[in-house]
Chains A and B, each alone.
Chain A
Amino acid sequence: MMLEIIKPNTNINFIGKLKYTVILSTVIILGGLFSIISKGGLNYGVDFSGGTLIQARFSQSTTASEIKKGLEPLNAEGLVVQNFGGGNNSEFLIRASGLPENLEQFSDQTLKLLQEAYPNGSIEIRRSETVGPKISASLRKKGFWAVALSILGMLIYVTWRFEFRFGVGAIVALTHDVLITLAAISLKGIPIDLSIIAAFLTVVGYSVNDTIVVSDRIRENLRKLGTRDETGVINKSINETLGRTILTSGVTLLSVLALYLFGGGVIQDFAFALLVGFIAGVYSTIYIASPIVLLFKKKKK
């Protein structure tokens, strides 16, 4: 027996639902924007804000607020203590955004204070990162340009291989995906660091795959069936590739889900961003990129 997720000759009217999907996406993106503003701007990690991050493991379980209390004498600016990697409350991330006078002393003093606060247990500093303002400013700039450049690169590539309107559809969809991911990250309170930028770029690179596959089919069908009923052709193309779209994204999501669940704390935020971005990518290919192709043609006439 042959397994089929989507039966041949399925015909769902995707284009007709454009109104609702635009509203849905706008609501999510605005929600993210609201969350970003209410949290006082983008939540940068040490890579982009500068500062110090310490990952400490305690031999006993404890709480973030207890650690924060122990570190009060530091008077560190923007001190954030977070449980790391879930589990048994023994591993924590300690971040300080404001740079102490002497970077070197910050982690030493932190360790000393922690040892005083937890005299009966041992504390292991598993990771410590200190990024000065010069580096963080340059990384911020480079990170923004990397994302912008990759989206622009996709516009050029898709325009070159297809048509300009496909390119526009692709980059609106990609920007949509990045914004949705950004919204999700902000809502979940994940700081934006280098790995999140890597996730954005991967989302851009992967999400455009779907758009290309569907665009390819639209082009093929337009040649075969003519351009009289573009809405119908686009709808048909989306339906024809639907099986493939669901299958591949499903399989890719399997890998990402494995990373999210089993990859450990360092990878978790990265995998989360990919998870959201990839789902947004499939959705935007069907509901955003393709209808935009249609919008452009209509305007031209």
Chain B
Amino acid sequence: MKSFGGRAIVIAAVFLGITVFFVPIFVKNLPSWWKNVLPSEGLRLGLDLQGGVHLVLEVDVQKAVEIQRDRAIENIKEKFQAEKVEMISIHLIDEKSFGIQLAQEDQTAQVEEIIQKEFPNLTLPITDSIDIDTVIVSFNEPYVTLVKDSAIHQAIDTIRNRIDQFGVAEPIVQRQGTDQIVIQLPGMKDPRRAIELVGRTAQLEFKIVDTSPFKSASQMYSELDQWIEEAGLTSLSSPEEISSALQGKIPEGSEILFSSEVDPRTQRRSVSKPYLVKAIPALTGDLIEDAAVRIGGQYNTPYVSIDFSKEGATIFEKVTGENVEKQMAIVLDGTVYSAPVIREKIGGGKAVIEGRFTTDEARDLAIVLRSGALPAPVTILERRTVGPSLGQDSIQQGVRATLIGAASVVLFMGIYYQVCGLIADAALLLNLFLILGLLSAFGATLTLPGIAGIALTLGMAVDANVLINERIREELRLGKTPRAAIDAGYDRVFWTIMDSNLTTLLAGVILFQFGTGPIKGFAVTLSIGIVTTLFTSLFVTRLIFDGLSQKWSTVRI
């Protein structure tokens, strides 16, 4: 057994070390020298305690692959033109492969050579296709994985950028599994706004309105409405459905999009007027350099002004020059926001997006346009919002329950075991101190179940002391001296205490793996509590007993 003094020094050092981590919890304005050298984070509160929004998004990585596939097809078309290879059609097979039907079947070998040489990401899978004139082309697996991976990373970067610009303190944006992203926004009150901010693809496109099948622009709306109604569809039908139903009526290369209007009664956006626009955009949002909220116009309403990059400005000037007197639809994520008539060629690389926004809407739109579009659409799988008032109540109730629980345990131990009970009580308070200190040291997040975990740990921690005290009593009954009874008591129950605590720790670790958010907080405090319990009950109380037993001739336990 190590010397009494040696153990005392070790224990004192542990507590002193923990105190350092403990300080930031209570001292808010730490001196700068402290922040430079010592921990200053303090305890972090979970979303369930401080309020906020928790989201789980799924990135449509398949869509990201599809976008790359379509881009590859465009490149192949260009290459074939240069190499004088004639093809009849390209048909899509799945998100990563397609078939090229050639005009002359004897060119297949040449095509295969071009693809192998010029397109390293594409492979020519062996198929049992009987079409001798068709070449099947597919992305190779490593490239598909790369595209999916970078889509997730890019999405995380973009979302983080948007959140930073919006201004949320201590947000969390993390990848989860293969294609999910977890987002935590402490203090965010409006979940709908949070979703608009992080969940919007923000693909901005400028498309020229195609009025060629109609006598005038005003006729476009009524005729399109009529066509859609005749086809048995509504403005809520999917664009693909409408396009295929109206095939033949609408010119090749054009599509129907709808505008979004604010319902003055409910203040919510709804889909309404149809537009026929050119499918290929004249300009896209990736050529934007800056976007800002302005207020003005006829009704002094907020709008978003955008500045194009140099390249964007050149294209914009050219497109507007070529389409004077036509309408230019400003399309965000497939919805027309406005479609002003181009009066003259517009130089200078500036444009505005109007759409009867509220100030918040305009501000959020400017943020998402500045941060750029998401590489693929996202869907929301999970959404949890806790209001700040509930968080406050939870803290109050959690702390109160813990204090009442701890007080009754302390009282009970003091009455039942008297002096030895007071030793156990001292261990209990030190235990609480250690748990909070370690939580702070690990930068762990305290949640409501986490507070419950602390209350529970304090109740369970007593087990070790009860085991020890009961055992010492038994040994005393056998007629041993206090000194010998204490030694025998601690030695006999050491492994019992280890075993029973390690099993609980095992459950805690499994829970940590399984749990999310608040539950993880419970697993953390439970596990930390077990470690501190082992320390305080086996080492700290032993030291106190040893110290006291040197003065005792008889002991009552």
Contacts and interface: CB of A to CB of B under 8 A. Distances in A.
Interface of A: 2-3, 8, 55, 103-104, 107-108, 124-132, 134-135, 139, 142-143, 145-146, 149-150, 153-154, 157-158, 161, 194-195, 197-198, 201-202, 204-206, 208-209, 212-213, 216, 240, 243-244, 247-248, 250-259, 261-264, 266-267, 270-271, 274
A201 B511 contact: yes
A251 B499 CA distance: 20
Contacts of B48: 266
Given A204-B507, A252-B462, A262-B397, A213 B500 contact: yes
B26 interface: no
Q: What range describes how many residues of B lie at the interface?
A: 35 or more
B387 A127 contact: yes
Which of A146, A157, A209, A257 is the most central at the interface, judged by chain B CB atoms within 10 Å of its CB? A209
Interface string B348-391: 00000000000000000000000000000001111111110110
Contacts of B379: 132
B386 A254 contact: no
A153 B161 CA distance: 43
B315 to A, nearest CB: 35
A208 B508 CA distance: 13
B381 A143 contact: no
Contacts of B518: 194-195
B495 A216 contact: yes
Given A248-B463, A258-B405, A274 B394 contact: no
Interface in B448-467: 448-449, 452, 455-456, 458-460, 462-463, 466-467
Nearest to B53: A128
A209 B500 contact: yes
Nearest to B521: A198
Nearest to B458: A255
Contact of B409 (A128, A146, A201, A255): A255
A270 B503 contact: no
A120 B221 CA distance: 43
Nearest to A261: B401
A209 B463 CA distance: 9
A129 B384 contact: yes
B507 A150 contact: yes
Interface string B498-530: 011111111110110111101100110010000
Contact of B462 (A142, A205, A248, A256): A248
Candidate in B380, B389, B404, B556 with the most chain A CB atoms within 10 angstroms: B404
* The 3 nearest A-B residue pairs measured at CB: A205-B507, A255-B459, A264-B397
Given A132-B380, A132-B382, A198-B449, A153 B455 contact: no
A150 B514 CA distance: 11
25 contacts: A2-B556, A8-B474, A132-B380, A135-B56, A139-B516, A157-B503, A197-B519, A201-B511, A205-B507, A209-B463, A212-B496, A213-B467, A216-B495, A240-B474, A247-B416, A248-B462, A252-B456, A254-B408, A254-B409, A258-B455, A259-B452, A263-B455, A264-B401, A266-B48, A267-B401
B306 interface: no
Contacts of B389: 124, 126
B500 A255 contact: no
B460 A252 contact: yes
Nearest to A258: B405
A213 B519 CA distance: 28
Contacts, number: 219
B415 interface: yes
A126 B58 contact: no
Contact of B406 (A132, A255, A256): A255
Contacts of B477: 8
Contacts of B340: none
B412 interface: yes
Nearest to A217: B496
Nearest to B508: A205
A129 B449 CA distance: 17
Given A8-B477, A128-B191, 18 more contacts: A3-B416, A127-B387, A129-B383, A129-B384, A132-B382, A139-B516, A146-B510, A146-B511, A149-B510, A197-B519, A248-B462, A251-B412, A256-B456, A259-B405, A262-B397, A266-B394, A270-B449, A274-B456
Interface string B396-407: 011011101110
Contacts of A257: 405
Contact of B466 (A201, A251, A267): A251
A130 B382 CA distance: 6
A139 B533 CA distance: 31
A258 B404 contact: yes
Nearest to B500: A209
B86 interface: no
A159 B104 CA distance: 73
Contacts of B505: 205
Contacts of A142: 514
B470 A244 contact: yes
A198 B522 contact: yes
B383 A157 contact: no
A150 B380 CA distance: 31
Interface of B: 48, 56, 58, 191-192, 195, 268, 379-387, 389-390, 393-394, 397-398, 400-402, 404-406, 408-409, 412-413, 415-417, 448-449, 452, 455-456, 458-460, 462-463, 466-467, 470, 474, 477, 495-496, 499-508, 510-511, 513-516, 518-519, 522-523, 526, 556-557
Given A135-B56, A258-B401, A244 B387 contact: no
A10 to B, nearest CB: 13
Contact of A205 (B398, B503, B515): B503
B504 A209 contact: yes
A127 B47 CA distance: 11
B499 A258 contact: no
A125 B470 contact: no
B504 A252 contact: no
Contact of B448 (A202, A204, A255, A266): A266
A267 B556 contact: no
A256 B514 CA distance: 23
A205 B417 CA distance: 27
Contacts of B417: 3
Contact of A202 (B404, B456, B470): B456
B44 to A, nearest CB: 19
B466 A244 contact: yes
A264 B499 contact: no
Given A124-B389, A212-B499, A104 B192 contact: yes
Given A128-B385, A135-B382, A202 B526 contact: yes
Contacts of B268: 108
A213 B496 contact: yes
B452 to A, nearest CB: 5
**Residue from A3, A266, A270, A274 whose CB has the most chain B CB atoms within 10 Å:** A266
Nearest to A254: B408
B60 to A, nearest CB: 13
B511 A263 contact: no
A259 B506 contact: no
Contacts of B513: 146
Nearest to B522: A198
A179 to B, nearest CB: 17
A244 B511 contact: no
A102 to B, nearest CB: 11
A209 B409 CA distance: 19
Contacts of A267: 397-398, 401, 448-449, 452
A125 B387 contact: yes
Contacts of B195: 104
